[in-house]
Amino acid sequence: MTMGRSTIAGAAGFIVVAAIGPWMPPWLVSLATIAFANALVVLGLIVLWRTGLVPFGQALFYAIGAYAVALIGRYTPIRDVFVVILAGAVCAGLAAYAIGFLLARYREIFFAMLSLAMSMILYGVLVNTESLGSTDGFHVEAGTFLGYRPDGIWLNLSIYWLVLGCSAVLAWLVSLYFRSVAGALSNPIRDNEIRVEYLGISVDRLIHLKLVVSGILAGVGGVLAALAIQHVDPAMAYWTTSGSFVFVTILAGAGSVAAAFVGSLAFELFRSLAVDIMPGLWQMMLGTALLLTILFLPEGLGSLLGRLRGRWGKAS
By the rule CB under 8 A, 116 interacts with another protein: yes
- Residue from 14, 61, 123, 267 in contact with another protein (CB under 8 A): 123
Stretch that binds another protein, among 8-16, 61-69, 98-106, 157-165 (CB under 8 A): 98-106
Binding residues for another protein restricted to 127-146, rule: CB under 8 A: 127-128
> Which burial class, exposed, middle or buried, applies to 77 when counting CB atoms under 10 A from its CB (0-12, 13-18, 19+)?
exposed
- Residue from 61, 247, 261, 267 in contact with another protein (CB under 8 A): 247
Give the integer Cα–Cα distance in Å for 308 and 31: 28
Q: Which long-range contacts (CB under 8 A, 24 or more apart) does 174-177 make?
A: 174/43, 174/47, 174/213, 174/217, 174/257, 175/3, 175/6, 175/7, 175/10, 175/257, 177/47, 177/213
Q: How many residues make contact with another protein (CB under 8 A)?
A: 43
- Closest approach of Cβ 291 to another protein, in Å? 4
Give the integer Cα–Cα distance in Å for 140 and 274: 28
Q: Which is nearer to another protein, 178 or 239 (CB)?
A: 239
By the rule CB under 8 A, 290 interacts with another protein: yes
- Residue from 3, 283, 309, 310 in contact with another protein (CB under 8 A): 283
> Which burial class, exposed, middle or buried, applies to 111 when counting CB atoms under 10 A from its CB (0-12, 13-18, 19+)?
buried
Cβ 141 vs Cβ 128: under 8 Å: no
Q: List residues near another protein by CB under 8 A.
A: 52, 54, 102, 105-106, 108-110, 112-114, 116-118, 120-121, 123-125, 127-128, 192, 194-195, 239-240, 243, 246-247, 250, 280-284, 286-288, 290-291, 294-295, 298
